[in-house]
Chain A
């Protein structure tokens, strides 16, 4: 009987893409944003990013060890979370602060809910919201690349910047959020590799643009400033926390755009993006429930 061949349920072949390949592709797609950060804010941003990735990976490994789970560091998701958290932090953020942020993102938001695939909100953004509540001063102290000094106001709160500067990233802001151009390059890479679908980024960015244009403000500047691009291409497209159908994703994108706009319009509060995406993450199960696709051959019940 030892000569029996191996049997398994069909299908017997699989596509070569894997979850970790996807994660590392997303990390690769963030390289332009990393480079832009170094260009505008100096090498400390690179230190912050690498440190944050390592810290996130370490927390993941420690959790796996103590929870007696299989080591999941190499799926790349923790490192991606660490990188995203660094990218949406101010360049001057102390390392201890981002350490706590990584701990919160990986352990509390992701692992406590069951690990990869089970968190209901984006870990990086949830950690950012947590840090914002814990250390509002650290989290809203922006350095201005032009004057090499620290200014406390974000351009969204009324500073005057040109649209070109906003597009290139020559403005005060977070490490990886400032350059819409760099994020766009990474986003197009992800679209071309079919890792993300265009529905959410397009719906998100267009909604913010249209909203502010109707409100009589500069819609173009509103989409280029304050992390809309980073959120639209990299945060609101985080598979785990978004709807699975095209229809659901368009609703998600429009919802993120509306919430971002409303929060910004109301009080010039710079954190519209974070809360918009988190709120829509929380609404995802509901959206999924109402956007079940019509199956092939569905018979209409009169």
Chain B
């Protein structure tokens, strides 16, 4: 079989064997559930409940503000005990609704939207966002401008970050919903070409999806070469269609929409039952975890509860990461809420977490070969050292997707991505 891929990238040890064979475990929610009002890229939601209110499961508690924003729903029934800023994974404090769970799961009476509702309306009503981690509101993706006709929809099953297996498990256990979700999107948008793209280290998932998709003639399952960052939208589009999203542009500019595996199941369930997004699959893994596995966790739960459910720590954790090891966010505390974009809780041992000391750049060019955007990362690092932001800009630093491939391969262990972030921040401030 031909394996599709892109130019650049790296081959980290995928470490997926820890959890890829373990079925998803449903988790009981916590007593206190925390719902930050910003779980997506775009404007934060405004709380639409008040302290003391009784809320039902699936009830809207955060109202989307503006077009690029996504509604937030309660994942439990109970009483609102606080609306106050709470810490989230990024280290910031975000206005959050705190609900005391009554463990009755009294559900709001949800109904699917009428049959003629647009797919964007379904996504908006469900509070769907890109669940691969970028959390871009799905209804925005699904309302392409009129002058940019979409001819291809791709389900992103590459899951290229090491350790993560949540998409893998969904493709194996809930493949029907994924295929159904894609079929729904294709039909609603009148698009005739759908792909489910899966990295080759998940051959069993591809096999399963191929069987399921026999009844959907417009959907093709394609195998991708196992390479990081295959799951990056631009690299995925390039691998599957051969097209390049123009610099500064969006997938719609080349007629493509990319959806995450879990997002497809959200759309499917929203269309069929009217249920909004209130839970997600989270991989809890890493060498510091006793029993690594995948959980179906209600949004708003504390990461600590997931770690406990996975048997807790076997050793002192050196680092806890929300997300994968390449692009995830290291957190200073584990009592943080699971939000729509939390695909994994990764707990590394102290040994793994210790970063080697960095040395001088020897211009070996490994970062150049690894960069999936075909930039010269070494320049950014060297220019950032002397605060030459303008030269960074000249070498297209703003196109960098911060995938981390350059830092990963650097034999001198230079903090390339960190320098790039610093330079981008400086350039943003310059603009003001």
Residues of chain A having any CB pair with chain B under 8 Å: 4-15, 17-19, 21-22, 75, 77, 114-118, 197, 239-240, 242, 244-245, 292-299
A75-B361 Cα distance, complex, nearest whole Å: 12
A12-B362 contact, Cβ under 8 Å, with A295-B374, A296-B247: no
Beta-carbon nearest neighbor of B357 in chain A: A70
Name the interface residues of B332-389: CB closer than 8 Å to any CB of A. 332-334, 346, 348, 352-353, 355-356, 359-365, 368, 372-376, 378
Residue A296 contacts which of B321, B374, B402 (CB distance < 8 angstroms)?
B374
B331 touches A7 (CB 8 A): yes
Chain A residues with CB under 8 Å of B404's CB are 10-11
Beta-carbon nearest neighbor of A244 in chain B: B365
Distance from B93 Cβ to chain A, minimum over Cβ atoms (Å): 15
A8 touches B247 (CB 8 A): no
Chain B residues with CB under 8 Å of A8's CB are 319, 330, 355
Residue A6 contacts which of B346, B353, B417 (CB distance < 8 angstroms)?
B353
Q: Is B309 an interface residue (CB 8 A)?
A: no
A14 touches B356 (CB 8 A): yes
A295-B375 contact, Cβ under 8 Å, with A13-B162, A14-B407: yes
Q: Is B246 an interface residue (CB 8 A)?
A: yes
Chain A residues with CB under 8 Å of B249's CB are 297
Residue A116 contacts which of B234, B248, B319, B360 (CB distance < 8 angstroms)?
B360
B326 touches A10 (CB 8 A): yes
Chain B residues with CB under 8 Å of A298's CB are 246-247
A240 touches B362 (CB 8 A): yes
A17-B362 Cα distance, complex, nearest whole Å: 13
What are the nearest 9 A-B pairs in CB distance?
A11-B404, A117-B360, A7-B330, A9-B418, A244-B365, A4-B332, A297-B247, A239-B364, A296-B373
Chain A residues with CB under 8 Å of B162's CB are 13
A295 touches B396 (CB 8 A): yes
Beta-carbon nearest neighbor of A116 in chain B: B360
A11-B407 contact, Cβ under 8 Å, with A116-B359, A239-B365, A299-B247: yes
Q: Is the interface of B mostly helix, strand, loop or mixed?
A: loop
Chain A residues with CB under 8 Å of B372's CB are 296
Chain B residues with CB under 8 Å of A13's CB are 12, 162, 325-326, 352, 408
Beta-carbon nearest neighbor of B348 in chain A: A12
B329 touches A14 (CB 8 A): no
Q: Is B244 an interface residue (CB 8 A)?
A: yes
B399 touches A295 (CB 8 A): yes
Q: Is B424 an interface residue (CB 8 A)?
A: no
Residue B318 contacts which of A6, A9, A17, A197 (CB distance < 8 angstroms)?
A6
A19 touches B374 (CB 8 A): no
A244 touches B363 (CB 8 A): yes
Distance from B396 Cβ to chain A, minimum over Cβ atoms (Å): 5
Distance from B29 Cβ to chain A, minimum over Cβ atoms (Å): 24
Chain B residues with CB under 8 Å of A17's CB are 409, 411
A21-B413 Cα distance, complex, nearest whole Å: 12
Q: Is B317 an interface residue (CB 8 A)?
A: yes
Beta-carbon nearest neighbor of A17 in chain B: B411
A12 touches B353 (CB 8 A): yes
Q: Is B421 an interface residue (CB 8 A)?
A: yes
A28-B362 Cα distance, complex, nearest whole Å: 19
Chain B residues with CB under 8 Å of A9's CB are 415, 417-418, 421
Q: Is B81 an interface residue (CB 8 A)?
A: no
Beta-carbon nearest neighbor of A298 in chain B: B247
A294-B374 contact, Cβ under 8 Å, with A6-B319, A11-B325, A15-B409: yes
A21-B396 Cα distance, complex, nearest whole Å: 31
Q: Is B49 an interface residue (CB 8 A)?
A: no
Name the interface residues of B238-294: CB closer than 8 Å to any CB of A. 238, 244-249
Chain B residues with CB under 8 Å of A197's CB are 365
CB 8 Å contact bits of B398-432 with A (1 = contact, 0 = none):
01001010011111110101100100000000000
Of the A-B pairs whose beta carbons lie under 8 Å apart in the complex, a sample of 24, sorted by A's number, is A4-B333, A5-B320, A6-B332, A6-B353, A8-B330, A10-B325, A10-B326, A11-B417, A12-B330, A13-B326, A22-B362, A117-B361, A244-B368, A244-B378, A245-B368, A245-B376, A292-B376, A293-B368, A293-B375, A295-B375, A295-B399, A296-B234, A296-B245, A296-B399
Residue B244 contacts which of A19, A22, A297 (CB distance < 8 angstroms)?
A297
Distance from B375 Cβ to chain A, minimum over Cβ atoms (Å): 6
Chain A residues with CB under 8 Å of B329's CB are 10
Distance from B321 Cβ to chain A, minimum over Cβ atoms (Å): 6
Residue B362 contacts which of A15, A116, A295, A299 (CB distance < 8 angstroms)?
A116
Q: Is B327 an interface residue (CB 8 A)?
A: yes
Distance from B249 Cβ to chain A, minimum over Cβ atoms (Å): 7
Chain A residues with CB under 8 Å of B234's CB are 296-297
A18-B413 contact, Cβ under 8 Å, with A10-B327, A11-B325, A13-B162: yes
B363 touches A239 (CB 8 A): yes
Beta-carbon nearest neighbor of B415 in chain A: A9
Chain B residues with CB under 8 Å of A299's CB are 246-248
A197-B363 Cα distance, complex, nearest whole Å: 13
B328 touches A10 (CB 8 A): yes
Distance from B59 Cβ to chain A, minimum over Cβ atoms (Å): 34
Chain B residues with CB under 8 Å of A244's CB are 363, 365, 368, 376, 378
Distance from A3 Cβ to chain B, minimum over Cβ atoms (Å): 8
A293 touches B334 (CB 8 A): no
Distance from A249 Cβ to chain B, minimum over Cβ atoms (Å): 8
Beta-carbon nearest neighbor of B8 in chain A: A296
Beta-carbon nearest neighbor of B422 in chain A: A9
A5 touches B325 (CB 8 A): no
B411 touches A21 (CB 8 A): yes
Chain B residues with CB under 8 Å of A19's CB are 359, 362, 411-412
Q: Is B395 an interface residue (CB 8 A)?
A: yes
A22 touches B364 (CB 8 A): yes
A240 touches B411 (CB 8 A): no
Distance from B217 Cβ to chain A, minimum over Cβ atoms (Å): 32
A292 touches B330 (CB 8 A): no
